[in-house]
């Protein structure tokens, strides 16, 4: 018995969660594949990349990224809407009752200033010597702008206090609930008070598992 949702079931979950008509959602995906972007209710859809077989889509609600997934060309060329056909399946029904666990895991190339609730897997390349700063809360703290990397690029990650000593160069980390901003003209990733930094070997969020399309 399979234990992973198909792309149709995952998109049916998104359609239900964001109260988007499945036909409108499907047509918006087709339009984004052809025209690079499309609007669908409160959601915006962007074509991030494509090859002969699959297209990677990024779905956002305002500045918040809610999903990223690969969809096959054959799926988008279906005559009948495969999202609507998946609404009554066991997987889609189970997903519609689950609590929101945040956006899908992204890649560094997908990050834009102003994004929030970012989940990301990356490797630590550099951790500069921490420096002492006086914060707006009226206390002193140590900070280091580490350099992290995934297969799509690099970016600075702002580490504070115990975060600095919890990781080392060469570690693979999973970052949750982070945000993107600019400081002194440079983009950087920040982990807020509700965020999390974990050392992991092969992280896989619930959304990632759902978004994987079976070949």
CATH topology of domain 110-199: OB fold (Dihydrolipoamide Acetyltransferase, E2P) (2.40.50)
Enumerate the β-bridge partners of residue 132: 142
DSSP state of 38: E
Detail the DSSP E strand segments found in 35-161: 37-40, 43-50, 54-61, 64-72, 105-106, 118-126, 131-134, 140-150, 153-160
CA atoms within 13 A on the CB side of 31: 12
**153-160 and 186-199: which strand pairing?**
parallel
Domain with CATH 2.40.50.140 in the chain: 110-199
Q: What's the chain's length in residues?
A: 215
Two tokens at 153?
């690029």
Residue pair 172/200 in contact (Cβ under 8 Å)? The answer is yes
What is the b/e burial string over 36-72, where b = at least 16 CB atoms within 10 angstroms of the residue's CB?
A: eebebeebbbbbbeeeeebbbbbbbeeeebbbbbbbe
φ, ψ (nearest 5 deg) of residue 117 = 50, 50
pLDDT of residue 89: 64
Per-residue pLDDT of the chain (215 residues; tens, 9 = 90+): 445 778 988 898 888 888 888 899 999 999 999 999 999 988 999 999 988 889 999 999 888 888 899 999 999 999 889 898 887 665 555 544 444 444 457 888 888 888 888 888 999 999 999 998 887 778 888 999 999 999 999 999 999 898 898 899 999 999 988 998 888 888 899 987 788 898 874 334 433 444 444 33
Q: How far apart are CA 164 and CA 158, in angstroms?
A: 9
pLDDT of residue 88: 63
pTM above 0.85?
Answer: no
Q: What are the Cα distances from residue 156, in Å, to 45, 66, 122, 149, 183?
A: 27, 23, 11, 9, 11
pLDDT of residue 56: 93
Q: Which residue has 């809360």 as its token pair?
A: 137
Query: CA gyration radius for the chain?
Result: 19
DSSP 79-99: SS-HHHHTTTSHHHHHHHTSP
**153-160 and 172-183: which strand pairing?**
unpaired
């Amino acid at each position: 018995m399979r234990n992973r949702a198909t792309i149709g079931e995952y998109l049916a979950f998104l359609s239900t969660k964001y109260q988007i008509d499945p036909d409108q959602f499907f047509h918006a995906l087709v339009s984004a594949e052809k025209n690079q972007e499309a609007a669908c209710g409160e959601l915006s859809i962007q074509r991030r990349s494509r090859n002969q077989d699959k297209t990677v889509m990024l779905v956002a609600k305002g500045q918040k990224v809610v999903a990223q997934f690969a969809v096959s060309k054959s799926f988008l060329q279906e005559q009948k809407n495969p999202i609507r056909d998946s609404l009554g399946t066991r997987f889609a029904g189970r997903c519609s009752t689950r609590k929101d666990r945040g956006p899908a895991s992204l890649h560094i190339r997908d990050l834009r200033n102003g994004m929030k609730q970012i989940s990301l897997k990356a490797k630590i390349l550099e951790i500069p010597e921490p420096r002492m700063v006086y914060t707006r809360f009226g206390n002193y703290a140590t900070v280091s702008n580490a350099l992290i990397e995934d297969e799509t690029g690099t970016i600075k990650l702002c580490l504070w206090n115990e975060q600095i000593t919890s990781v080392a160069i060469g570690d693979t980390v999973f970052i949750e609930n982070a945000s993107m901003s600019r400081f002194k003209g440079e983009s950087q990733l920040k982990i807020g008070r509700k965020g999390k930094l974990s050392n992991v070997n092969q992280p896989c969020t619930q959304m990632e598992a759902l978004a994987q399309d079976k070949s």
